Amino acid sequence: MALSDWFRIPEKFSTLMIIPVQIVMNFTAMIPFALTWYVGMTNWQPQITPFFWEAQFVGIQNFLKIPGDDLFVASLARTLLIVAVCVPVEFLLGFGQAYVLSRNFRGRQAIRVIAIVPMMMVPIVTGYVFYLMFIPTGPVSSFINLITGRTEPILFFADPNLALMTIMLADIWQWTPFIFLIFISSILALPQDPINAAYVLGASRGYTFRRVMLPMLKTPIMIALILRSIECFKVMELPWIMTQGGPGYSTFTIQMHLYESAFKYLKYGFTNAQSLTIFITMIIIGWYASKPLRGG
Amino acid sequence: MSKAEKVSRRSFMKTAAASIVGLAVGAGIGYSVSRMDGAGPTETVTVTTGTGAGEFPFNVPVKGDTPAERAINAANYLLEQNPEWKGSELVIAHPGGYGPGYDAMKDEWEQKTGTKLVHSDIPVNELFDKIMVEAISRTGGYDLLCIQPMHVSDLAAAGVLYQLDDASKWFDNRQHGKPDGYIYPLEYIMPMYGGKLWGYVHDGDVFTTYYNKSWMDEPAEQEGFETQYGKPLTTAETIREYLDLGEWFTRPDDNKWGINENREVNRNYIYFWAYFNSREYPNKYPFDDEMNPTVTDDDSIEVAEAFVEAVKYMPPGHLALSGITTYESFAQGLIFENINFPSAANKYNDEASVSRGKWITDVVPGWMVKGPDGKEVLLRRSVQGAGWITSVNNHSKKKELAVAFAQYLTDPQKLILAHLAPGWHDPCRYNAVGEDAPQELKENRGPLLPPFEKNASIVTPVIAGIRGATEYNTVLSKNLHAAMLEVSMGKTPDVVKVLEDSADIWKEITERLGREQQIEEWLAYKKWYPTVII
C-alpha cells in the first residue's frame, strides 16, 4: 500500500484524521483519568510524600472508607435535595415559559432573548447579586417587611433552611432559561400537521397538549432533565459565594466537600476515590435514565 | 430509526490501532514535555535535609547598615550575576487587603534594583489552596508567598517553601530582641516548622480586647452594673467578666449589643483559641504529648459553653457576616466590646467611624487557674489570630532575588510604612509598639498600641507548627459554627458532642498523617508557647 493511499482512500483518510484528536484526548483526558484511578488507590498527601508515585498503594481501601465519611454522605444528600427541588421547578417554569412564548405575538423575539439573559451571567456574579439581595439590609428583606409590617430584618443567611432556599432560588433563576431554550426550539420544531389535525377533529387545547404535543416532546424532555440534573448536581459557585457552605454545614454541597477535602485538607488520594465513586454512580444513573432515548 | 450497521472486524481493528498509536504518541509527548527545562518537577526536597540550605550564594558581599540596604545591595549583586533578571518582576501572592502595605514599602527597592513588585490578590479563604497547588504544579508562578503560620507546616513539608535560616543570619534581619526585633515569641510561633525558619513575619495579628469607653464611663452604667454584678464596671480580666459585660450591654430594643467577634464559619476557630488557651497553666494545649486531643475534658467544655454563650450578646445575623464586615457594628457605635484583630483599629479609628476617639484596648481576658505553686492565679493568653509571614516559593525561577526582596520587605523601618498604609499589616516588632513607636503610627492606630506589647508577650498560636494544621482548625470551626447557630435560634447546643466530634476527626487526621511524626512536630513546636503570667 502506498503512502498516498492514506490520503486518497476515504476510509484510510478518516482513520488518519482520528489520530490527532486521539492524541489530544489521550493527553488531556485519558491519561489524567487513568492517573486519577491510580491516585485514588493511594494515600497520597503532598505533605507526606511530594510525588504521587511515592505514596503508599492501598488498593480499594479508600473506596471502602467512603460510606463511613459522614460529611461526604451528608453533603451528597444535601446536593441531591437541591437537585430534587431545583430541577423540577426549573423544568416546569422553563417549559411553561417556552409554551407561552412559542406563540406568535408582537415582540416575541425580544422577549425570548430577554428570557435567556440569566443563563448568560457568570454564576459567581449571580451568586453575589443574590447575596446582596438577601442580606438583612437587602431589598428582599425590606420588601417583605414592607408588605407584612415586620420591623426586624429577615436573616436569610443565619437560618439553615432559609440559606438553602436562597441557593435554590438563585439556581432556579439562573438555569430556568436553559430549560426554556431547549423547549422553545423543540416546540417550534414540532410538526404542525398532527396538532392542527387534532384541533380540526375537535380536541381541546389541553387534550392536544397532553396527547399530541407531549409525546412528541419526550426526547427533549429526557435530554433537559438529564442535562440539568447533571449540572445541578455540580452546584458550587452559588453556595461558595453566598454562604461559604454555612451556616454550619447547611449549604455545604458535595462539590464543596470534594474541593475542601482535596485542596484544603490535601487528601488527594481519598478525594480521588470519592470523585470516582460519584462519577461511576452518575454514569450508571445516566445510563438507565437515558434508556428511553436509546430505545428508539 | 435504522438498525446500526454491524462493525466489521477490519474497521474495529483499524480504529483500535489508531487509538493505541494515539495513546502511545500522546504519552510520549506528555513525557517529553515533562522533561523539558523548567517544566517538570524540581529536585525533591525534604524538611530533614533543609530546603534551600546552602543554595543562596553566600559569597554575596554583605554591605549596608540596615536589613533593607543589605537586601538591595545583595539584589544588585545577584542582578549582575543574572542579567536576564534585570527589569523583571517578582510576583507576590497575598490575601486581599495586603496590597497597600506592600506598595508602601516597595519604592526604594524598585528604584534601586529595577525589578518590579506584582501583586496576585487571592481571597483569604482560598489562599492556602492556590499556593498549595504549587506543590504539584511547580510552575514558579509566584516568587513570594504571604502565608499564615498554620499554613507553614504543610507548605514546608510539601516542598513549597524555601528555608530561610541561613539567609536570615546572613542578612541579619533583626529577628530577635529590642529595639527593633520581633516581639517575642512571634518570631518563633509564626514562621517555624521542624525547627527551621520558613518566612519573615510582617504582620503580628496579636489579638487585643476593644471596649467602648464612652459607655463604660457613664455613671448610670457604672452604678447599674455594680449593683447587678457586684463588681465595678471596668475592662474584663476573666472570660466570665467579659461575658457579664456583654450581657449587661445587650439591649435589643435600643439596638445595642455586648459583643461582635468574627464568628464566620471557616475562621471562628481563631476566637475559640482566644477563650481556650488560658484555661490551664502554663497553657491549655489542644493536644497532649501523645497528640491526643484535649478538647473534651471538663475545662474545654466550660470554655466551649462560654464561647457559644457570647453569641447571645451579638447582633442578629452576625454569624452570617465575615471578614471586615464584622467590624462595622462596633465602628457604628452599637457594640460594647470584642476580642479582635489589631487591624480592627483601622476601622474603629477611621474618620467615618462613630466610635472614633471613644474606644480603648486592654489585654485579652483569661481564666482563674491553678498556678505553678498550686494557688489560684489569673492566667491571660492572647492569640495570634491569623498572622502573616513573607515566604519564598521554592519553585521560583528567581529564588535568590526573591530571598533578598523578602528580606527587604521585613526590614524594621520598612514595616512601619506598611503599618501606616491602608490595609492589614499589623505591628510585629518592638519599634512599632509602646512608647518608642513613631508618633504617626500612634495617631494612626489610636489606643491599640499601649497594651500591644503586653498582649504580644502572652500570645499563643492557633493550632500551628504541625502538618494538617489547616484541617484541624477548620474542622473545629465548622462544628462550632453549627453549635453557635443553634444559640442564635434560641436553642441549647450540645457542645460536648461538638467537641467530641471534632476530637474524633482530629484523631483520624493524626493517624492519617502519621502519629509518630505528628508527636515529634508537636513537641518541637509546643515549647514556643509563652509561660509568663502578667
Q: Do A27 and B29 touch (CB under 8 A)?
A: yes
- What cell numbers appear for B333 in the block? 457605635
Task: Clarify whether residues B161 and B221 are in a common domain.
Answer: no
Which domain does A105 fall in, by range?
Answer: 83-253
Lateral strand order in the sheet of B359-362: B257-259, B335-340, B208-212, B359-362
For residue A249, what are the contacts with CB-CB under 8 A and spacing of at least 6?
A71, A74, A75, A78, B478, B482
pLDDT at B44 over 50: no
Task: Clarify whether residues B310 and B330 are in a common domain.
Answer: yes
Chain A environment of B32 (Cβ under 8 Å): none
Among B396, B425, B454, the domain boundary falls at B425
Q: B-contacting residues of A 83-122, CB under 8 Å?
A: none
Looking at residue A295, what is its pLDDT?
62
Question: Is pLDDT larger for residue B210 or for residue A291?
Answer: B210
Residues A215-227 have a mean pLDDT of 92
**Has residue A66 been placed in a domain?**
no
Check if B22 contacts A (Cβ < 8 Å). Answer: yes
Q: B-contacting residues of A 56-85, CB under 8 Å?
A: none
**Has residue A291 been placed in a domain?**
no
pLDDT at A104 over 50: yes
**Has residue A164 been placed in a domain?**
yes
Torsion, Cα of B429, B431, B435, B441 (10° steps): -90
Task: Clarify whether residues B274 and B378 are in a common domain.
Answer: yes
Query: How confident is residue B14, by pLDDT bands cut at 50, 70 and 90?
Result: confident
How far apart CA B305 and CA B284 sit, in angstroms, is 16
| Nearest CA distance, A108 vs chain B (angstrom) | 35
Query: Domain tally for chain B?
Result: 2
Residues A140-161 have a mean pLDDT of 91
Query: How confident is residue B33, by pLDDT bands cut at 50, 70 and 90?
Result: low
Task: Clarify whether residues B181 and B227 are in a common domain.
Answer: no
Q: Do B41 and A264 touch (CB under 8 A)?
A: no
**Has residue A42 been placed in a domain?**
no
Looking at residue B319, what is its pLDDT?
84
Pairing of strands B144-147, B89-95: parallel
For residue A230, give the CATH number of its domain: 1.10.3720.10
- Is residue A110 helix, strand or coil? helix
Among B399, B425, B451, the domain boundary falls at B425
B interface test, pick of A33, A44, A48 with most B CB neighbours within 10 Å: A48
Looking at residue A293, what is its pLDDT?
72
The pLDDT mean for chain A works out to 91
Chain B environment of A22 (Cβ under 8 Å): 18-19, 21-23, 26
- Is residue A22 helix, strand or coil? helix
| Nearest CA distance, B487 vs chain A (angstrom) | 11
**Has residue A95 been placed in a domain?**
yes
Task: Clarify whether residues B176 and B196 are in a common domain.
Answer: yes
How far apart CA B481 and CA B492 sit, in angstroms, is 13
Query: Domain tally for chain A?
Result: 1
**Has residue B446 been placed in a domain?**
no
Contact (Cβ atoms closer than 8 angstroms) between residue A144 and residue A162: no
For residue B296, give the CATH number of its domain: 3.40.190.10
Contact (Cβ atoms closer than 8 angstroms) between residue A101 and residue A108: yes
Check if B113 contacts A (Cβ < 8 Å). Answer: no
**Has residue A115 been placed in a domain?**
yes
Chain A environment of B498 (Cβ under 8 Å): none
**Has residue B102 been placed in a domain?**
yes
Task: Clarify whether residues B120 and B264 are in a common domain.
Answer: no
Residues A203-218 have a mean pLDDT of 90
Looking at residue A251, what is its pLDDT?
94
**Has residue A281 been placed in a domain?**
no
Among B425, B454, B480, the domain boundary falls at B425
Dmax (CA) for chain B in angstroms is 98
Comparing B30-34, B393-397, B449-453, the range with the smallest average pLDDT is: B30-34
pLDDT at A290 over 90: no
Which domain does B356 fall in, by range?
Answer: 209-384+467-515
Contact (Cβ atoms closer than 8 angstroms) between residue B161 and residue B145: yes
pLDDT at B346 over 90: no
pLDDT at A44 over 60: yes
